[in-house]
Chains A and B, each alone.
Chain A
Amino acid sequence: MALSFIDGNEAIARAAVRAGCRFFSGYPITPATTIYQQMLKLLPPLKGVCLQGEDEIASIGFCLGASMAGLKAMTATSGPGISLYSEQISFALSGEIPLVIVDVQRLGPSTGSATKGADGDIQFLRWGSSGGLPVVVLAPVDVRDCYILTMHAFNLAEQYRCPVFIASNKEIGMTRESIEIDSLDTPDLLTRKYCPEDQPYLPFQVPPGTMIPPFLPIGGSRLVRQTSSTHDPEGYITADTDIIGQVIERLDKKLVTNVDTFTFFEFDSDPDAETLLLVYGVTARAAKTAVEQMRKGGKAISLLILKTLYPVPEDFIKQCINEVKRVVVVEMNLGQYVREIERLAESQHVSHFGKMDGELISPELIQQVIAL
């Protein structure tokens, strides 16, 4: 048993390497830079590659190339950089390229405040790519989550051949905590499925009963075509609307219909509660304290901490909110994830509290909001 006193960024780096990540690239940006610095320490001894781009467009481009060649790849940035990633996020979606993207969110919009946290990019991560197809967004609460969710992120990227986001926050990324890595409940590692040697390879052909095409690396012994344009199973660009429609539908369904298998959460339910407090990210820590204090004061309240934000685990959320009459969503933005809850709620009253001023939301403030 050994304790590590590390921050969220270091936890992400360590978990990435353990998950088999052997390629990292990035561009200097506060508060994500220390992920680069950690990867630079960890990757070269393992014969991995850690590369600095001349900008964010280059950095994510390196990752896409490396992933297409078969390596598990990761990049990390913050608001201004994630904006420049946008085109290549849709490239990864269309080309089904596994990739883990860490967004250590800082206060926006734009350059905002480099050293202040926020959860202002949540909807951007979901919708910030052309075409609007689903992506996976995981939101850690603390350093421990940074470690565990990063390992899951690599598994999901490999399993579903898609970009997976870790929606961290400056407050998690740059705060040190003690964690015991050996005792964490980490998943077994998954690797993308390769096309067997004895079978013909069509780059986007999906075997019957599955939704993910097997992979072969660009530059391997067999010819591989890769494109971000609308394509048929063979990887040729096509204008056939039937084929285009089928591929797009599959890209949507492969994640949305499977979200129940990767819905990460903490649900602390009180059967007497009429109110459910729903939070994610660093705000969950204040929420836990607030709930504890309210319960001490004799108030019944339930708490749902969501860690899989996208695709929205709709059935699971409905199940949780059906237990109560009122849902209070608290988040470090002016109302982003609450939109998902509003559309899922039936008879429940949904209220929201959010702020973006660079300060964490305190337990006291959460209690005041719930008392309203």
Chain B
Amino acid sequence: MDRLKIIKKNIMEKKTTILNLTEEEFVHSGNRACSGCGLSIIYRMGLKALGKNTILVVPPSCLTVLQGLYPVASTKLPCVNVTFASTGAAATGVRGAMKALKKENVNVVAWAGDGGTGDIGIQALSGACERGEDIIYICYDNEAYMNTGVQRSGTTPQGVLTTTTPIKGKLQEKKDVPAIIAAHGIGYVATASAAYPLDFYDKVKKAMTISGPRYIHVHTPCPPGWSFDTRFTIKVGKLAVKSGLFDLYEIEDGEFQLTGESKRLVGKEKPPVTDYFNSQGRFKSLDAELVKKVQERVDAKWAKY
């Protein structure tokens, strides 16, 4: 009954639902992603939202693997694969060429992983934001370098085991990339989750109505990298949001507001962060003290909402 209510409410608010989602596909079935890959979900949904007048700019990442080798290439859109450090810069160049060629109504969309966005690619992205480039930048955050065998990245959460943080887990806290991008004062920054694909779809749609730099940061569960069973991708992604660890929000012209599931959580009791931690193998070396600290941080953050 609750779910029906939500669907009805979404229809009233002109949100996309399974009933009115476009049937057009821009990703072929049978790509090279791992089973249960969160990126597969958002890539399909994101491209549905963007439509055919789109040029993708993609650095080395799991996405280049997902896009595949001929003859199992998966994307029905033009895509430039660029160097790891240059996504924001290459997208700038593509947009510049579109302007020079007087091609309007083209979405220039950079789509990169968390390492390609928040580590090696942050300089080019920051430059593009500061210049006010007319691009949409989508970061799928699977919280480590998965493509090269699960090395820690700037957005890997504290305590997570990776092949380069193998004993105690990562010592540092997760880098807040959307906050860094929002500090550039661009028109649209949003977060989303692969577990809420329609919310992501609507955010991409909204981004398309705005000009200038737009940034969407998508929490993207990764079964092999996070060590959970492939059937639990949505469950794990939802737990991150419901426990208050990863928040869904939009910052439009500087105005912050929670959206979707996170908005519904305000003032409600949330499951403890341990529910999320226990759902994956990568948190197994967390000690009680750190768990307590993380829970306190989450509670303090939510006290402000």
Contacts and interface: CB of A to CB of B under 8 A. Distances in A.
Given A30-B148, A111-B60, A40 B83 contact: no
A364 interface: no
A55 B151 contact: no
A30 B65 CA distance: 13
B164 A40 contact: yes
Contacts of A56: 120
A80 B83 CA distance: 8
Given A40-B164, A40-B166, A80-B84, A54 B151 contact: no
A55 B81 contact: no
Nearest to A36: B164
Contact of A52 (B84, B122, B164): B164
B283 interface: no
Contacts of B81: 111
B151 A33 contact: yes
Contacts of B84: 55, 80
Interface in B145-174: 145, 148-149, 151-152, 154, 163-164, 166
A111 B82 CA distance: 9
A29 interface: yes
B83 A28 contact: no
Contacts of A37: 163-164
A55 B154 CA distance: 11
A361 to B, nearest CB: 24
A54 B119 contact: yes
B163 A84 contact: no
Interface residues of A, number: 16
Contact of B149 (A28, A52, A55, A84): A28
Given A27-B120, A36-B164, A37-B164, A55 B148 contact: no
Nearest to B116: A55
B109 interface: no
Secondary structure of the B contact surface, majority rule: loop
Given A28-B145, A33-B148, A33-B149, A54 B154 contact: yes
* Max chain A C-beta neighbours (<10 A), residue from B85, B115, B145, B164: B164
Given A36-B164, A54-B119, A55-B119, A28 B85 contact: no
Nearest to B64: A111
A81 to B, nearest CB: 9
Contacts of B119: 54-55
Nearest to A56: B120
Contacts of A54: 119-120, 122, 154
Nearest to B120: A55
Contacts of B152: 52
Contacts of A80: 60, 83-84
Nearest to B121: A55
A84 B83 CA distance: 11
Contacts of A110: 83
A39 B159 CA distance: 21
Interface in A11-33: 27-30, 33
Interface in A94-128: 110-111
A27 to B, nearest CB: 7
Nearest to A37: B163
* Max chain A C-beta neighbours (<10 A), residue from B85, B122, B154: B85
A111 B83 contact: yes
Interface string B271-296: 00000000000000000000000000
A27 B148 CA distance: 10
A55 B151 CA distance: 12
A29 B115 CA distance: 12
A80 B116 CA distance: 14
6 contacts: A36-B164, A37-B163, A37-B164, A40-B166, A52-B151, A111-B60
* Across the A-B interface, the 5 shortest Cβ-Cβ residue pairs: A55-B120, A28-B148, A54-B119, A28-B151, A28-B145
